[in-house]
């Protein structure tokens, strides 16, 4: 077992993200999992990511606040304890339209080695 305290997580730069802080927990340069990249992202009001698409599948789980997810022109608001799956190469945009910080847990399939 590998334990990672939030205070030990390192910030990383996520492409095409704005007004957010992203922390890597496992996978990629953080070590641990080779099949999964896991992290926590904090989006300020007005912050978000995309629109864009990428090959890995993704899961977002809202820990606090609200997140608007836009896929195929359809908007869905995720609240605390809601989650969504974004398929490979599925174009998405995420936006924090609320006045509170939105915190999400992110799991992304790691690229094949």
- Residue 95 token pair: 């936006």
What span, in angstroms and rounded, lies between the C-alpha atoms of 81 and 89? 25
Range of the domain at 94: 11-109
**Residue 18: what pLDDT?**
97
In a domain, 45, yes or no: yes
First to last CA, the chain: 22
Per DSSP, the three-state class of 51 is: strand
As for how many domains the chain has, the answer is: 1
104, 63 in Cβ contact below 8 A? yes
- What's the CATH number where 19 sits? 2.60.120.10
In a domain, 6, yes or no: no
Of the pLDDT bands very low, low, confident and very high (cuts 50, 70, 90), residue 112 is confident
- Residue 14 token pair: 């996520």
Answer whether residue 113 shows pLDDT above 70.
no
In a domain, 78, yes or no: yes
- Residue 22 token pair: 């992203």
In a domain, 2, yes or no: no
In a domain, 3, yes or no: no
In a domain, 77, yes or no: yes
Tell me the average pLDDT across 38-58. 97
For all residues of the chain together, what is the average pLDDT?
A: 96
In a domain, 1, yes or no: no
In a domain, 23, yes or no: yes
């Amino acid at each position: 077992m590998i334990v990672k305290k939030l205070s030990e997580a390192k910030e990383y730069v996520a492409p095409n993200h704005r007004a957010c802080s992203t922390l890597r927990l496992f996978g990629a340069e953080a070590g641990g999992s080779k099949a999964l990249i896991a992290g926590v992202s904090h989006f300020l009001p007005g912050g978000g990511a995309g629109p864009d698409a990428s090959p890995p599948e993704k899961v977002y789980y809202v820990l606090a606040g609200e997140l608007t997810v836009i896929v195929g022109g359809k908007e869905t608001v995720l609240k605390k304890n809601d989650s969504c799956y974004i398929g490979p190469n599925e174009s998405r945009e995420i936006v924090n339209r609320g006045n509170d910080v939105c915190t999400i847990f992110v799991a992304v399939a790691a690229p094949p080695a």
